[in-house]
Amino acid sequence: MCLFFFFFPSRLLSIVVAHATFLTLLEIVFWLLFFKIFFCCVISFQISFAIGQRDLHALEPWDTSYVQMASGPGSIAFGHHLIKGKSRHAMEDYFVAELRKVNDHELGLFAIYDGHLGHNVADYLQQNLFNNILNESGFWRNPKEAIQKAYLNTDGIILENALNLGPGGSTAVTAILIDSTKLFVANVGDSRAIISKGGVAQQLSVDHEPGAPAEKGNIENRGGFVSNMPGDVPRVDGQLAVARAFGDKSLKVHLSATPDIKELDIDEETEILILASDGLWKVMENQEAVDLVKKIKDPTAAAKQLAAEAVNRKSKDDISCIVVRFK
């Protein structure tokens, strides 16, 4: 195309020369320069428009998915949606939403990892944490104990590889559904999991905030402190706004990676499971989230609705949502 536009004025020149009796040499040069400038502007506009389209596409939400499995007494369907926040850094939210068959058991694996000071730790967790949990020798005998061991062992590996993974860290909320009958939810940090039973929201995870009395006590017992400056949230050693996380090597002596774990039976009243990063929960209550999506049958559409509403409520953080429907 560029060659076409480059040679086009020379073709025009031959036409102009054929009518030279009506034009002076100065006029011919003028029109030749005019068309060259005109077509260069057209090409420049097309290139700028293409780049603009590419940048616009880069800001679009992450792909979503819809998967269904039949197991146990019923079936589940799940979907997810992610939106990058207003910050200039790269997307730091990572997720897992997949089915896996292990030892004749059908597993639903769901997780949100919200990174800070970079995305490397969240990326590592996405690739490794569930494998580490399921590879624990006692997982089928005592899932809660295996989950706790895997969280702590994984944190140890991250700290050993801090030179490659960087100084940052990540929250985590993980949910393991076994044969659609038993659910194990674990978390460190402020990414949250809630479940709806009979239309009522129930929080399954614990928000590990430095200002909470139990978390503040743990931090101080480790030799750290919790800042509470006016206009700011409480922070570990004046830096981190969560009391538990993976990574964060410089703070780890004062920072725990021990998860809170909850076990739950899935029964006929169980309707919806929602996992999301704090980009959602900063602007939305648990019951509001359930009420917003309870009539949306497509879980991907439900996850999109949650993320869109968070944006409407001026959430500036990365937003990631997973919605699992049990009926």
CA gyration radius, the chain: 28
Residue 231 in any domain: the answer is no
Q: What percent of the chain has pLDDT over 90?
A: 73
In this prediction, residues 297-301 reach a mean pLDDT of 96
Tens-digit pLDDT profile for residues 193-247:
999 999 999 999 999 999 999 999 999 999 999 999 999 999 999 999 999 999 9
Residue 49 in any domain: the answer is yes
pLDDT at 42: 42
- CA distances (Å), origin 300, targets 67, 71, 135, 177: 9, 20, 30, 19
List the 66-71 sheet strands across, edge first: 66-71, 74-83, 319-325, 270-276, 192-197, 200-203
The total number of structural domains that make up the chain:
2
pLDDT tops 70 at residue 252: yes
CATH code assigned at 271: 3.60.40.10
**Residues 15 and 125 placed together within one structural domain of the fold:** no
**Residues 50 and 76 placed together within one structural domain of the fold:** no
C-alpha–C-alpha distance, residues 84 and 165, integer Å: 21
pLDDT at 258: 98
Q: Kindly write down the DSSP assignment for every residue of 168-196, as one continuous string.
A: -EE-EEEEEEETTTEEEEEEESS-EEEEE
In this prediction, residues 278-295 reach a mean pLDDT of 97
Domain around 76:
66-208+244-325
C-alpha–C-alpha distance, residues 22 and 273, integer Å: 80
**CA angle, 180 as apex, 299 and 244 as ends, to 5°?**
75
pLDDT tops 80 at residue 327: no
- CA distances (Å), origin 137, targets 19, 86, 149, 158, 293: 90, 42, 10, 21, 38
pLDDT tops 80 at residue 55: no
Q: Give the model's confidence band at 75: pLDDT under 50 very low, under 70 low, under 90 confident, else very high.
A: confident
Closest C-alpha to 307, from 91, 16, 39: 91
Q: Give the model's confidence band at 46: pLDDT under 50 very low, under 70 low, under 90 confident, else very high.
A: very low
Residue at a domain's end among 42, 58, 74? 58
pLDDT, the chain, mean: 85
Q: Give the model's confidence band at 105: pLDDT under 50 very low, under 70 low, under 90 confident, else very high.
A: very high
Q: Give the model's confidence band at 91: pLDDT under 50 very low, under 70 low, under 90 confident, else very high.
A: confident
In this prediction, residues 136-140 reach a mean pLDDT of 95
Q: What HEC string does 283-305 produce?
A: CCCHHHHHHHHCCCCCHHHHHHH
- Three-state DSSP at 255 gives coil
Closest C-alpha to 119, from 323, 321, 318, 275: 318
Tens-digit pLDDT profile for residues 9-38:
444 445 444 444 445 666 665 666 665 555
